[in-house]
Amino acid sequence: MTENTRVRPQPSELPPPDGEPTPARVPKPFRWSRLRWSSLFRGSSVSRPGFDKRNQRPGFDKLNQRPKFHRLNQRLQPVRELLQPGVDACRRVLAAVTGFGWTVLALAAFCWLLAGLFGWGELALTAAVLLVGFAVACAFTIGRMNLAVDLEADPVRVTVGESSAARVRVTNLARTPALPIGLEFPVGTAVGRFTLPALAADASHDEVVIIPTQQRGVIELGPVVTQRGDPFGMVRREVTWTERLELFVHPRRVPLEPLGSGLLRDLEGHTTQDMSMSDLAFHTLREYSPGDDRRYIHWRSSAKVSSARGAGTFLVKQFLDTRRSHIAVVVDADETAYADAAEFELAISVGASIAVRALADEMDLTIVCGDHAATKPAPSLALDTFSRADFAACTLAESTGRLNHLAPDASVAILVSGSNAGFQTYAHARAHLAPEVHTFAITSERGGTMALRQASGMTVLTVATLNDLPRVLPGVIVQ
């Protein structure tokens, strides 16, 4: 065929005439050779062009829409559901074998192989002894125990230094006696291990653990796990009976005087007992005094009193202040702001003391400390937030900026940080708040001197111990 030879296109390759729709593409027939049987059980599918290597997921959904594959998938679904319990049981059985157990099995297989290749009877005897020993070890884990296990802590919330105890009660619900068994449950970073004695039918046994609470935080208790295994450690079967519990160790606190209502006046706030000449909460009428605003003279009552007395007497309206009482406590979680961990604990105690006093004064409260925050919490939940607090990768300014979303109506903000935080740190954090928000800063400096400073309209307090807070705080927030 020469270069000038023209090839006539086939009728199927000719474009459709103008105005006629493009004929639909006929799908290729399904081929069993393109099907991977492992995909029926793993959810993967077919090795074919179009495989998306970016997410390693082929076009399984499109393939499943084909009638033949869809019918096959539906028929195999009961088989998968039937085999799934057996697969789970095999996984549990294999998980009970320890590393030493797998080593014994591998050594037995190796000795058996060498005995078959070289005819050494000693190796065959060694393999048989190892297999018998493994079988005996498995016999220690056969059987199921019918137990009821309860884990509780009393009390669940304590202050640093107070005592708390965890109790584990195990009851044998079976009709036959229960053999001794190992029992363990984590207590924070430690693990308590006990040997549960033999229990008669319906008998109970209690184990009590005293929990150390010398440090603030959240201590995880449990879950309670029973262990059954052989003396050699080849097989160990564990059963989990309970969920985890949390024991909250709250920070130390010091009692404070009422914070008062020295907050922003707001017509949508709470009514106080302070008298005011202009507000929405009407209280009473009183006689006019020089200097009162004449706009609040009640003319009808004044006319009645004047006609009764025969002299000109004016009555003015007396109101009660309504003030917005929303206090925000922000504790700096930046580790570089503190000289040591003890200063951070002092800052946490300062914030917790102010938060508890604010809730006692029926104020709205918002707490921010690193990654943890709480808005209008109950007293116990507020202290739980301080128990969870820890160092975080955020500055005081970033923590203060969260108040714009958590508490946009806050009237007072108290910023608490360490001795390494200078005035620029507080000023930078203050810039994230609205101008009408009263801002106070408290520096926790262990070994320092109690001080009170004013700078750029912001009050900065310095406390060396927690007992300094009641002496320096009155007269600052209370107005």
In tens, the pLDDT along 56-113 reads: 444 555 555 566 666 777 778 888 788 888 888 888 888 889 999 999 999 999 999 9
d(CA 332, CA 338): 9
Task: Report the candidate in 430, 335, 425, 349 with the shortest Cα–Cα distance to residue 387.
Answer: 349
Q: What is the CA radius of gyration of the chain?
A: 39
Confidence of residue 3 (pLDDT cuts 50, 70, 90): very low
Residue 24: predicted pLDDT: 52
Residue 21: predicted pLDDT: 54
Confidence of residue 372 (pLDDT cuts 50, 70, 90): very high
Question: Which burial class, exposed, middle or buried, applies to 339 when counting CB atoms under 10 A from its CB (0-12, 13-18, 19+)?
Answer: middle
Percent of the chain with pLDDT over 90: 48
Confidence of residue 300 (pLDDT cuts 50, 70, 90): confident
Cα distances (Å, whole numbers) of residue 214 to 161, 218, 250, 352: 5, 12, 10, 17
Query: Do the Cβ atoms of 46 and 33 come closer than 8 Å?
Result: no
Confidence of residue 302 (pLDDT cuts 50, 70, 90): confident
Would you say residue 172 has pLDDT above 50?
A: yes
CATH topology of domain 326-472: Rossmann fold (3.40.50)
Lowest mean pLDDT among 66-70, 257-261, 368-372: 66-70
Percent of the chain with pLDDT over 70: 78
pTM over 0.75: no
Residue 475: predicted pLDDT: 62
The domain limits of the chain are 99-139, 147-250, 268-323, 326-472
Residue 104: predicted pLDDT: 95
Lowest mean pLDDT among 50-64, 161-175, 177-191: 50-64
Q: Encode pLDDT of 11-27 as tens digits.
A: 554 555 555 555 555 55
Residue 294: predicted pLDDT: 75
Confidence of residue 129 (pLDDT cuts 50, 70, 90): very high
SS3 of 266, please?
Answer: strand
Residue 55: predicted pLDDT: 45
d(CA 475, CA 44): 71
Q: Encode pLDDT of 434-466 as tens digits.
A: 988 889 999 999 988 998 888 777 899 999 999
Query: Do the Cβ atoms of 197 and 207 come closer than 8 Å?
Result: no
Q: Which residues contact 438 (CB under 8 A, 6 or more apart)?
A: 263, 264, 411, 412, 413
d(CA 393, CA 335): 8
Residue 68: predicted pLDDT: 66
pLDDT (mean) for 346-373: 94
Residue 2: predicted pLDDT: 47
Confidence of residue 290 (pLDDT cuts 50, 70, 90): confident
Task: Report the candidate in 163, 221, 215 with the shortest Cα–Cα distance to residue 188.
Answer: 221
Residue 56: predicted pLDDT: 46
Between residues 317 and 12, which one has the greater pLDDT?
317
Lowest mean pLDDT among 77-81, 169-173, 205-209, 216-220: 77-81
Query: Do the Cβ atoms of 405 and 344 come closer than 8 Å?
Result: no
Residue 320: predicted pLDDT: 67
d(CA 241, CA 169): 11
CATH topology of domain 147-250: Immunoglobulin-like (2.60.40)
- Residue 298 CA to chain centroid, in angstroms? 58
Query: Do the Cβ atoms of 201 and 175 come closer than 8 Å?
Result: yes
Residue 323: predicted pLDDT: 64
